Amino acid sequence: MSRPALCILIVLGLVAGPGLADGFLTPLGSIAADQRTHLIRVTAITMIAVAPVLIGVPWLLWRYRRGRKGPYRPHFEFSVPLEFVMWGVPTLIIIVLGYWLWKATIQLDPSDPRGPDPLQVQVVGLDWKWLFLYPREHVASVGTLVIPVDKPVQLQLTTDTVMQSFMVSALAGQIYAMPGMVTRLGMRADRTGTATGENTQFNGEGFADQKVQVAVLSPKDWQDWMDAARAGPVLDAQAYARLARRGNLADARKTLGIADGPLRLRLGDDGLFRHIVQRYHQGQGVSAAQQPGAPGYRPQGEGS
């Protein structure tokens, strides 16, 4: 492909992309917005080192092609000023970028919810759906994450199967979720709207189905949503054990008996998340029959 065509392709992508799908190029919150700014900055600075190659190589190939009359210096093998520039300019760039990297990483600490008194949401990755628990509100939701606008949110994540990675790119970066361990992710949405999230760490057949619908609601709408959930069926230990079986959202609907509308339930046990994490630290093995996500998993005999 010729270089002009290549450039057009990249420009097209960068221009058209944001209008078509949601991601951190169309951020819904300040975290993703800051990540985007950082990306642009890093690109711009690194281009100082890259542009001379993109421009210089075609020029060199044309100017010094064999057959052209002009200077030929077959023994030119060292030049002190050139060495200073070649080593020095990239080093300076790295120093600048290193400083920004340091600042940005601290400022955009993934576990930081950007505000006081965050809403606590516990996230359990299952095969192949996400379970969201709101312990203080006594609500559970499968496949849908609702958060109030303008409020810091603190997610605590784990899985009950294998390593997964939770990301809502319009709001924040991703974080791995691992069984027996708890990771933390902070989010904060600046305006109401919807976004999608996903699992980015391959975990089997239904990996492509493991999406999240994120709804950023006004405080009143969020309260109504929570009230409606508490009026619905209960997620108790038995229901959870059946939910944890391998399957996607459609399977979860059948398991929980909720044919349409959001998959929201009343949370029967506020300590469910802690039990899920602690299950792997009881000093006894978790057999295939007891392990959600395993082909041999059998929900009876499951306890929280």
Partner 1 sequence: MSPWFGRLNWWVTPFSDAIANPNTNNLVAAGAAALVVVGALFTLYFLTRRHLWGRLWHDWLTTADHKKIGIMYVVLALVMMARAVIEGVIMRGQQAAVLHGGFLSADHFGELFSTHGTIMIFFVAMPLIIGLINIAVPLQIGARDVAFPVMNQVSLGLTTAGAALVMVSLVIGKFSTGGWTAYPPYTEAVFNPGVGPDYWIWAVVISGFGSMLSGINFAVTIYKLRAPGMSYMRMPLFTWTALCTAIMLIYAMPPVTVSSLMLALDRNLGFHFFTNDLGGNMMNYANIFWMFGHPEVYILVLPAYGVWSEVASTFTAKTLYGYTSLVIATMAIAVISYTVWLHHFFTMGQGNSVNIAFGIATMVIAVPTGVKVYDWMATLWRGRIRMTVPMVYLTGFFILFVIGGLSGMMLANPTIDYQVHNTLFLVAHFHNVLIPGVLFGMLAGIHYWFPKVFGFRLEERLGLWTAWLWIGGFCLTFLPLYVLGLLGMPRRMPSFSDPAYAPWVLIAGFGALVLLIAMIMLFVTLWVSARHRDRLAVPLGDPWDGRSLEWAIPAPAPEWNFAVIPRITAREAFAVEKARGDPYTRPTAYQDITLPKNTALGASICMAATLMGFALVWHIWWLAALGLGLIPGALIVRAFVRETERVIPAAEVARAHDAWLDAIARAAGVTRDAETETANRGLAAPDE
Partner 2 sequence: MNNRMSAHLHPGLNLGPAHGAAHERSETVLFGFWVFLMSDFITFGILFATYAANTGHIGLAGGPGPGDLFDLKSIGLQTGFLLASSLTCGMASLSLKYDEGASRVAQWLVVTALLGAGFLAFEVRDFASMISSGGTPMRSAWLSSLYALVGLHGLHVTMGLIWIAVMLALLAVVGLSDRVKTRLLLFALYWHFLDLLWIGIFSVVFLTGMR
Question: Nearest distance from residue 283's CB to partner 2, in Å?
Answer: 3
Nearest to partner 2 of 65, 281 (CB atom): 281
71 binds partner 1 per the rule CB under 8 A: yes
Give 61 or 259: the residue with its C-beta nearer to partner 1: 61
What CA–CA distance (Å, rounded) separates 229 from 208?
27
Q: Which is nearer to partner 2, 67 or 283 (CB)?
A: 283
Sites for partner 2 among residues 253-272 (CB under 8 A): none
291 binds partner 1 (CB under 8 A): yes
Is 87 one of the binding residues for partner 1 (CB under 8 A)? yes
B/e letters for 25-51, b = 16+ CB within 10 Å, e = fewer, are: bbbbbbbbbbbbebeeeeeeeeeeeee
| For partner 2, the closer CB: 258 or 286 | 286
Give the C-alpha separation, 244 to 238, whole Å. Answer: 10
- Residue 282 sits in the site that holds partner 2 (CB under 8 A): yes
Examine residue 2 and tell whether it contacts partner 2 (CB under 8 A).
no
Neighbour count for residue 80 (Cβ, 10 Å): 7
Report if residue 81 touches partner 2, rule: CB under 8 A.
Answer: no
Q: Alpha-carbon distance 205 to 185, whole Å?
A: 26
Angle, nearest 10°, between helix axes 80-107 and 30-63? 160
Segment interacting with partner 1, rule: CB under 8 A, options 118-126, 132-140, 228-236, 276-284: 276-284
Residue pair 216/238 in contact by the 8 Å Cβ criterion: no
Applying CB under 8 A, which residues contact partner 2?
Answer: 281-284
